[in-house]
Each structure stands twice: as C-alpha cells, then as structure tokens.
C-alpha cells in the first residue's frame, strides 16, 4: 500500500459501531483492497476497514491488488470461498446494511443466523450506550451521573439486570462506601416492579428523566448505603479485590461470596463485580446480579459494561474538576471559608428569607488583634497558621446554618441567622472566649437586620464602626450596635462594662 494511504489508514477514526460489527461477526474474514495504479485515496469506510484489519477483530491482514489506471477503487471481503465486493455506495450505506450484506452473501446459513442474532442483541445496546453517554455528558451533578450509570446496568433498554449497587472509594479511609443503588429490596418489590414495567413501557430517556428528577431513596439503596468495605485486609479470593486488580468486569459463580459486603447483598450464585478506574486509580466498584429473575449473566455484555463505566469515570473526572474550580471561586484558599463575594450572595438570600419569615439576623465582623505585629515578628507563615486556626475555630463554634467567611487579611465575617441582639452578643462572646483560650485575641463588631435603613452597605458600615470601637476601647471584646460591650474572658465568662 502506498505510504500516503498507510498514513491515512493509521489516522482514521473508526466508529464504535463498526468495531462492534466485526467483533460480533465471529468468523475470520479476508480484506482485499483493489486500487488503480497511482491511486492515493479511498472512501472513509474502506480506510476504517483497513484500520480494523490492523487491530485484529474478524478482519485478517489486508491484501492490496493493483487495477488498471482509471478503474474504480473497491474493497472485497472473502470467507470460505465466498466473496463480497463493496463499492463506494456500499461503503457509505452504514452499519446495518453492511451487516445484512455480509450475512447474506459471505456467510453460510448457520453462520449468518448466529451473526445476525449477535448483531441484533448488540445494536440496541450500542444505541442505549450512545443515549446513556449523551445523558452523562449533559449532567452537571456527580450524583446524577452515578444514577445514570446504574440505570445503564438495570434498564431493560440497556442491560436489564435486576439490581446494581455502587460503592465509592474513600481514599483517606482506604475503603469502599455504599453510595447508590437501583433495584428491588426483596422478591415482593421485584414482582411489583415487573407489573409496573409490563403496564408502562417507558423509554430510556423517560427513565433517565425520572432519575434526574430525584426519585425517593429506595429500600435497597438505603441498605447499600449502610455497607462499607475495608480494603486493607481483604481475604484471599475476595471478589472486590480481584475486580480492582482486573482490567475488565468479572463474573463470579460462587455459592457464598468471600467479600463480606457482597455476601451482605445475598446475590445468587452468579454475580458481576466491576471496578471503576481512571488511569489505574480506583474510583469505585459496581456489584450487579439477576437475583430475582434468575437469568444468566451474558458474557457478551461485559464489553458494554466496561465501556459504560469507563465513560462514567471520564465524565466524573471532568465534573470533579469543575466542582473544584467552582469551590475555589466561592471559597478562600487559605482557610476554606467562603470568600467575600460568596458571603454577600448568601447574605442576600438569608435577608430575603428573614424578611419572609419575620426573623432577625446579625452581621459580625471579626478582626485579629496585633496581627501585623505577629507577621512582622514571626513571619507570614506563622500569620497564615493563625488565620487557619481562626477558620477552624469559627467552623466548630458556629451553628451549621450560620454563614462565615474570610474577607481578606485578618478580617472575618459571620452572619448569625434567626437571632436576637442578646443571642448575637452571646455567640460573639463564645467565639472570643474560645479564641482567648487558644491564645488568640479578637475584636468583634456587630449590627442587626432588619432595621429602618434596609441598605446592606449601612449594615456593614455600622458593624465596621462597632469593630473600630471595640479596638479603640481596648480590644478583646465585642460591640454590637445598641447593645452593651462584652469583654472576653476564658471559659466563656462575660464581664459587662
């Protein structure tokens, strides 16, 4: 073959459906390319067939025959004395016509029946895989991605397994934690599910829509979330450890699973375990079976499962990257608290809620006393460590629904929700006293909302004025607009002045 054509063959992208067609063909086929003298081009599918021949499948090594100059390029497939000539129109017709022509003209009746049966099973799955992959790419939620993945395992439009459970890898604990599941909890639920499916033949898109809408947690999913698999001491023959070491999904036939987690799921004798990995790094494990239907697991489906989980791993990496970028955009990099922009957004939302409910909130501005001197005398690293300590203190001291942020430098802000003036002072005092016990001196100024002037800038200005007053009066104290000053003492003691 001419060097120019060799280069084009190597560079052409082969669509998955064409790979699947020759993978499922199941008989060896000889590929012969007939080229006129001096020809430097071939139809796209001819290039793809040549590429496939170089990577195994049913196609053997390419044979090139030379035709007279000006003749039309052709591709010929041969098997067991039969020959099929494909012209440009045949090659452009697509996957299904090509499969039918191969079956009718190249294979004997028994081979054709077997190949078409395999192709008939594969085609709907390939279509389902395209739709599932599209849904994965369109979602912006990691939880929804996991639901779509499990739907691909259990939907009758795809693999149709009875149930599937996903365990997510916790890198710090070196354990797999039950996260998501689809399927019935017991035989009664399985019977009811079959009745519903018989009455309502829902499309894959409809099922995906239901999952994205956020269906209630099933009993089976609730049970899966109670399970955890410690990977540090896996026994010999443990199915999960074997799946994590394998490069493809595994099917086990065992009366009693070795893995305690899989045993807790009480699978039938035959069950599937597949790792979800990205560049060799484990992300999770899927366990699936046909516990209630008793149907055997199709070995031909393993390639589908592998491709589905590989696609999920790639999309998961992108979503985690986006999540990380969004987190950085909303949070302070040093302390992990909200930044000023996110704080002000949350504050507007809280003010709207407080207005609807008729409740009150308080803005507290916090400043570290003598922070510049610390930076000067001990260096910026010591200053950073102190700021991180204050961030940890604020998160541990405040309520979950209070909003806390670092505004920059040594200034922090807290929005205390559903509170009164006295409660705001008590919370500020607790923060200041606990900081004092750690050798940290804080000054705090506060302002209350709602007020006569609803402008947020006025709320910040008054809290800032109170912070300045607390510093001016000796530091280590809180001053809230309209409320007496409280001086911080260790052990949450409060001295009124």
The pLDDT, as a whole number, for residue 356 is 82
Ordered per-residue pLDDT tens for the chain, 497 residues: 567 777 777 777 776 666 766 766 777 888 888 888 776 677 777 788 888 876 656 777 788 888 888 787 788 888 888 888 887 677 666 666 777 777 778 878 777 777 666 666 666 677 777 788 888 888 888 888 898 899 888 887 677 899 999 999 988 888 999 999 999 999 998 888 776 655 555 666 666 666 544 455 689 999 999 999 988 877 888 999 999 999 889 999 999 999 999 999 999 999 999 999 888 889 999 999 999 988 888 877 787 888 888 888 888 888 877 777 766 778 888 898 999 888 988 888 888 888 888 888 889 999 999 898 888 889 888 989 999 999 999 988 888 888 999 998 899 999 998 888 888 888 999 999 999 888 899 999 999 888 655 677 888 888 999 999 999 989 989 998 877 677 887 765 444 33
In a domain, 153, yes or no: yes
Q: List strand residue ranges (DSSP E) for 68-158, in order.
A: 74-79, 82-86
Of 269, 301, 326, at which residue does a domain stop? 326
Same domain, 164 and 258: yes
Kindly give, in sequence order, each residue whose CB lies less than 8 Å from that of residue 47, ignoring residues fewer than 6 positions away: 5, 8, 9, 12
In a domain, 26, yes or no: yes
In a domain, 181, yes or no: yes
The pLDDT, as a whole number, for residue 217 is 63
The pLDDT, as a whole number, for residue 128 is 77
What's 397's domain CATH number? 3.30.70.270
Instruction: Annotate 204-261 with DSSP letters as a single string.
Output: HHHHHHHHHH-PPPPHHHHHHTT-EEE-TTPPTT-HHHHHHH-SS-EEEE-SS-SSHH
Two tokens, residue 449: 């909302």
Of 91, 121, 151, at which residue does a domain stop? 121
Same domain, 484 and 346: yes
Two tokens, residue 304: 């589908």
pTM higher than 0.85 for the full model? no
Range of the domain at 209: 139-326
The pLDDT, as a whole number, for residue 403 is 92
The pLDDT, as a whole number, for residue 21 is 67
Of 326, 348, 366, at which residue does a domain stop? 326
Domain count, the chain: 3
Same domain, 176 and 301: yes
Question: What is the distance between the alpha carbons of residues 156 and 25, in angstroms, rounded to a whole number?
Answer: 24
Q: Cis before residue 2, ω within 30 degrees of 0?
A: no
The pLDDT, as a whole number, for residue 214 is 47
In a domain, 436, yes or no: yes
Question: What is the distance between the alpha carbons of residues 265 and 88, in angstroms, rounded to a whole number?
Answer: 54
DSSP 8-state class, residue 331: B
Same domain, 9 and 115: yes
Q: 263, 257 in Cβ contact below 8 A?
A: yes
In a domain, 130, yes or no: no
Same domain, 182 and 60: no
What's 96's domain CATH number? 3.40.30
Same domain, 203 and 74: no
Question: What is the distance between the alpha carbons of residues 59 and 36, in angstroms, rounded to a whole number?
Answer: 23
Question: What is the distance between the alpha carbons of residues 174 and 300, in angstroms, rounded to a whole number?
Answer: 32
Same domain, 180 and 226: yes
Same domain, 374 and 432: yes
The pLDDT, as a whole number, for residue 494 is 44
In a domain, 133, yes or no: no
Question: What is the distance between the alpha carbons of residues 154 and 289, in angstroms, rounded to a whole number?
Answer: 9
Question: What is the distance between the alpha carbons of residues 474 and 486, in angstroms, rounded to a whole number?
Answer: 12
């Amino acid at each position: 073959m001419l060097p120019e054509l060799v280069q084009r063959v190597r560079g052409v992208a082969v669509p998955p459906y064409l790979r699947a067609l020759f993978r499922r063909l199941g008989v060896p086929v000889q590929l012969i390319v007939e080229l006129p003298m001096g020809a430097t081009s071939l139809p796209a599918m001819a290039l793809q067939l040549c590429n496939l021949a170089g990577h195994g499948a049913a196609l053997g090594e390419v044979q090139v025959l030379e035709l007279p100059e000006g003749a039309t390029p052709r591709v010929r497939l041969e098997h067991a004395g039969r020959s099929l000539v494909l012209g440009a129109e045949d090659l452009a017709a697509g996957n299904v016509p090509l499969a039918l022509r191969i079956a009718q003209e190249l294979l004997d009746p028994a081979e054709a029946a077997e190949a078409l049966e395999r192709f008939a099973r594969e085609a709907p799955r390939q279509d389902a895989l395209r739709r599932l992959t599209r849904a994965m790419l369109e979602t912006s939620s990691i939880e929804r991605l996991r639901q779509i993945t499990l739907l691909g395992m259990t939907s009758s439009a795809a693999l149709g397994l009875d149930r599937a459970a996903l365990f997510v890898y916790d890198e710090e604990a070196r354990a797999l934690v039950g996260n998501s599941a689809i399927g019935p909890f017991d035989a009664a639920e399985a019977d009811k599910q079959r009745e519903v499916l018989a009455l309502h033949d829902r499309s894959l898109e409809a099922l995906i829509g239901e999952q994205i809408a956020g269906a209630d947690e099933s009993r089976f999913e609730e049970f899966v979330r109670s399970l955890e698999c410690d990977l540090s001491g896996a026994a010999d023959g443990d199915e999960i450890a074997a799946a994590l070491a394998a490069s493809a999904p595994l099917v086990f036939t065992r009366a009693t699973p070795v893995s305690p987690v899989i045993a807790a799921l009480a699978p039938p004798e035959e069950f599937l375990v597949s790792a979800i990995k990205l560049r060799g790094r484990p992300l999770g494990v899927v366990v699936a079976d046909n516990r209630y239907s008793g149907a055997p697991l199709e070995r031909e489906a393993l390639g589908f499962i592998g491709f589905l989980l590989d696609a999920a791993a790639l999309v998961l990496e992108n979503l985690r990257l986006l999540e990380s970028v969004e987190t950085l955009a909303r949070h302070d990099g040093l302390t992990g608290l909200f930044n000023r922009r996110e704080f002000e957004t949350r504050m507007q939302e809280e003010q709207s809620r407080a207005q609807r409910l008729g409740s009150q909130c308080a803005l507290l501005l916090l400043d570290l006393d003598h922070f510049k001197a610390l930076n000067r005398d001990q260096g910026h690293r010591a200053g950073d460590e102190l700021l991180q300590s204050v961030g940890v203190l604020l998160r541990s001291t405040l309520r979950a629904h209070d909003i806390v942020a670092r505004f920059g430098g040594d200034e922090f802000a807290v929005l205390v929700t559903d509170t009164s003036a006295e409660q705001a002072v008590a919370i500020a005092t607790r923060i200041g006293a606990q900081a004092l016990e750690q050798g940290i001196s804080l000054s705090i100024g506060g302002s209350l909302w709602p007020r006569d002037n609803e402008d947020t800038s006025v709320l910040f200005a008054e809290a800032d004025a109170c912070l300045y007053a607390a510093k001016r009066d000796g530091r280590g104290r809180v001053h809230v607009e309209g409320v007496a000053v409280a001086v911080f003492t260790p052990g949450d003691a409060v001295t009124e002045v």
